[in-house]
Structure 1
Amino acid sequence: MLPQLFAYALNFPIQKFLQAQRKVNVMLCISAAVLVSHTFFSWLLILKLGWGIKGAAITLNISWWLVVIAQSLYIFITKSEGAWSGFTWLAFVDLYDFVKLSLASAIMLCLEFWYLMILVVITGRLKNPIVPVDAISICMNINGWDAMIAIGFNAAISVRVSNELGAGNFRAAKLAVLVVSITSVCIGVIAMIVVFATRDYFPYMFSKSLPVAKETTKLAALLGFTVVLNSLQPVLSGVAIGAGWQSLVAYINIVCYYVFGLPAGILLGFTFKYGAEGIWSGMIGGIVLQTIILIIIISVTNWRNEAEQAASRVKKWGGTIASEE
């Protein structure tokens, strides 16, 4: 899996570069083509050749590197309509500020992604953990599928907010936050309804074990609530990225997730003997607290001041303000 990690390191900056220019259709075409090849290689290596998990790892490595190579070729060949004119020493001007922002963003996102992954690890410390871990893993898969939609909104709103603030259109930035938040939550509510309606059936997509299926059904209520929360939370994080609040949100994540949510989950799961449901419930509390704090911050933010700060950064790094042209 190590080659895949290096592909991640290249893929995400390239994606942001293309998203900032609204080259979403290019990324869509590349991803669709790679998905087709990924399906073929998965069948070939996992089923036809019988390589199992090893084949799955090889397929993922190939697919992620194909995405990186294809996107890089597009940038190098088209020059992105003047957005990138080639390598230059000017790229290292004010690099320290970019590094600080990148590290803050990485810490912020890692704290968010690791949080739910820790749920599976902690569940593995329960007595007789096999069934609860299997059930939690199934729920995390379902949550991950729905989260892909919210992550798409995360990317869209981060680029939209940064572009609008950079252009001085603070009202448009504020409106975009409202529209995307409502849209994402509505999709999350629909997904929650689907989870509730199929709670007796979807576990069998992943396992034929009756105990695992029953445990997963018991967790459906928590899964549905998590799906709704995770439809809004990535959008709020995207707003933070677009507005440059990564450092602030990183501190908020530490307090909400690891000072409040994680201890609450351990307390409910182990001390009060609620098991996997208790662990998950406590950790949901951390997500709820973080979401409430971000909503309050966004609600009281002076977007005019944010636009002025963004304009000063654009001028500092040699750009132009769209509204002034």
Structure 2
Amino acid sequence: MESPTEPLLLLSETRELVDIGPIKGPRDLWREFKAESRKLWFLAGPAIFTSVCQYSLGAITQTFAGQVGTLELAAVSVENSVISGFSFGVMLGMGSALETLCGQAYGAGQLDMLGIYMQRSWVILNTTSLLLTPIYIFAGLILRVIGQTEAISASAGKFSLWMIPQLYAYSMNFPISKFLQAQSKMMVMAAISAAALLLHTFFSWLVILKLGWGLVGAAVVLNASWWFIVVAQLVYIFCGACGRTWSGFSWKAFHSLWGFVRLSLASAVMLCLEVWYYMALILFAGYLKNAEIAVDGLSICVNILGWAVMVAIGSNAATSVRVSNELGACHPRTAKFSVIVVVITSFLIGLVLSLLLITTRNQYPSLFTNSDEVKQLVIMLTPLLVISIIINNVQPVLSGVAIGAGWQAAVAYVNVGCYYVFGIPLGLVLGYKVNLGVQASIAGDRIRKWGGEPEDIVDEIEK
């Protein structure tokens, strides 16, 4: 276990480093690229692993549900993408305010504030969870009102009621994650998430397929897995492993809440606009002909895209920590160069993942469903899916730059234009007027990703 003085020693050593100098040639570029890559992968490797493991909890539940039947798969898909997806976007977005505050406070040596920030975020996110709970309670009615089929609405509504504990796990977990990330404590998060994933896979197989508990059993296991992560991380923090950054509960957590709420809301808007876009795709698929097949096929593609995005979100976390730490330590050139390195690296990762999907396109759909119709639809959508993965692997990384620098509000405006003014209307026109169906949703996703967000952020960095 790390001693309480070690973070201070590490911080002292970091702050003695100067900002990188101007890069004058290929040799300088290669030297700095290697050095920055080592720093990024020290953070990004465990962060990517953690993100993939945590995302896989819901994805594995969805996979086992697909082995039961198309209705069960559609119900879990709609709940994961629409009900939990809505809450996930809110919680992750609001919790991301800590990436700015904790990262810059750690870089500036204000270690005592990290624990206070985390407690403030708990207060805000748990209050938000109370406000979101009625969405889970009335999920079935809400889905029927917005046009989902009776069968899908009823099954997804039942599953949503059982998933209320996950909402409160989100409100605890995301502040904890940002608190630990700011201190580069990625390995403990990775170890806990790996243990949760292994347990979740075994018990999901046991209760869903062997014991036949269906959607109720799936919900119980998924809730338990998320709370296992929360409790294990809290034990690590409370045992003194974080030194000065955690000195116990404090009434200061209730001070300056309004300013914290404003930054949290800006962060939530920025990330919610991204997460809710996929929620909209699943909803629109439910309005197409043969809704269960359309929802199942698109949800499998979005599920796979989500795994790829988790790789990018892990890089997002590493980038946010690097940028916020370096800005807090007054090293702007190092922060800028970190962005260049992570964008190149993320693009190459996306390219490798896409090649893997293309080569296995006739095999991987069988992991998610027994329906031949759904398999054929997924195979048909795979070329569009891989293009989305390549682009998607870069975009969340650039969002991490915005979070690290505290530009959430500006990026929210860009996201509104790219996702909703352009992307969704295009998908609706192609899907319903031109009759391209689900392909249109994936195409709309791909085209909207070519919006102005990456250039806007990079231009802002250059200023």
- Taking structure 1 as the reference length, the TM-score comes to 0.87
Residue 128 of structure 1 corresponds to 290
Is residue 2:186 matched to residue 1:33?
Answer: no
Letter in structure 1 aligned against 2:283: V
Moved over 4 A (4+): none
Residue 202 of structure 1 corresponds to 364
Residue 207 of structure 2 corresponds to 45
What CA distance in whole angstroms lies between the structure 1 residues aligned with 2:304 and 2:294? Answer: 15
Deviation, 1:282, is 2.1
Deviation, 1:200, is 2.1
Deviation string for 1:235-269 (max 9, x for gaps)?
A: 01111111111111112111211111111110111
Residue 323 of structure 1 corresponds to none
1:61-210 matches, cutoff 5 A = 61-78=223-240, 80-210=242-372
Contact 2:240 2:246 in 1 (8 A): no
What CA distance in whole angstroms lies between the structure 1 residues aligned with 2:380 and 2:398? Answer: 29
Letter in structure 2 aligned against 1:57: A
Instruction: Give 2:409's match in structure 1, choosing from 237, 240, 247.
Output: 247
Deviation, 1:127, is 2.3
Structure 2 stretches of 5 or more lacking a match? 1-162
Is residue 2:170 matched to residue 1:8?
Answer: yes
Contact 2:336 2:461 in 1 (8 A): no
Alignment partner of 2:450: what SS? helix
Letter in structure 1 aligned against 2:171: A
Alignment partner of 2:242: what SS? helix
Contact 1:154 1:235 in 2 (8 A): yes
Closer, same or farther: CA 215–46 of 1 in aligned 2, 3 Å: closer
Residue 458 of structure 2 corresponds to 298
Is residue 2:438 matched to residue 1:286?
Answer: no
Is residue 2:443 matched to residue 1:266?
Answer: no
Deviation string for 1:62-112 (max 9, x for gaps)?
A: 111111111112111116111121223334443322211111111211111
Contact 1:119 1:279 in 2 (8 A): yes
What CA distance in whole angstroms lies between the structure 2 residues aligned with 1:43 and 1:115? Answer: 30
Contact 1:264 1:283 in 2 (8 A): no
Aligned residue pair count: 301
What CA distance in whole angstroms lies between the structure 2 residues aligned with 1:159 and 1:4? Answer: 26
Deviation string for 1:276-309 (max 9, x for gaps)?
A: 11232123222221xx333233234246xxxxxx
Residue 19 of structure 1 corresponds to 181
Contact 2:415 2:453 in 1 (8 A): no
Deviation string for 1:149-189 (max 9, x for gaps)?
A: 11111111111111111111111111111111111110100
What CA distance in whole angstroms lies between the structure 2 residues aligned with 1:273 and 1:75? Answer: 54
Greater alpha carbon shift after TM alignment, 94-103 vs 14-23: 94-103
Instruction: Give 2:439's match in structure 1, choosing from 277, 291, 301.
Output: 277
Deviation, 1:128, is 2.7
- Taking structure 2 as the reference length, the TM-score comes to 0.62
**Identity percentage of aligned residues:** 53
Instruction: Give 2:399's match in structure 1, choosing from 230, 234, 237.
Output: 237
Letter in structure 2 aligned against 1:284: R
Letter in structure 2 aligned against 1:255: G
Contact 1:150 1:231 in 2 (8 A): yes
Instruction: Give 2:222's match in structure 1, choosing from 60, 81, 89.
Output: 60
Letter in structure 1 aligned against 2:217: G
Contact 1:31 1:67 in 2 (8 A): yes
Contact 2:402 2:457 in 1 (8 A): no
Q: CA RMSD in A?
A: 1.7
Structure 1 stretches of 5 or more lacking a match? 304-325
Deviation, 1:48, is 3.5
Deviation string for 1:25-56 (max 9, x for gaps)?
A: 11112112222322332233223432122111
Letter in structure 2 aligned against 1:53: L
Greater alpha carbon shift after TM alignment, 109-118 vs 4-13: 109-118
Contact 2:270 2:412 in 1 (8 A): yes
Contact 1:79 1:85 in 2 (8 A): no
Residue 151 of structure 2 corresponds to none
Alignment partner of 1:301: what SS? helix
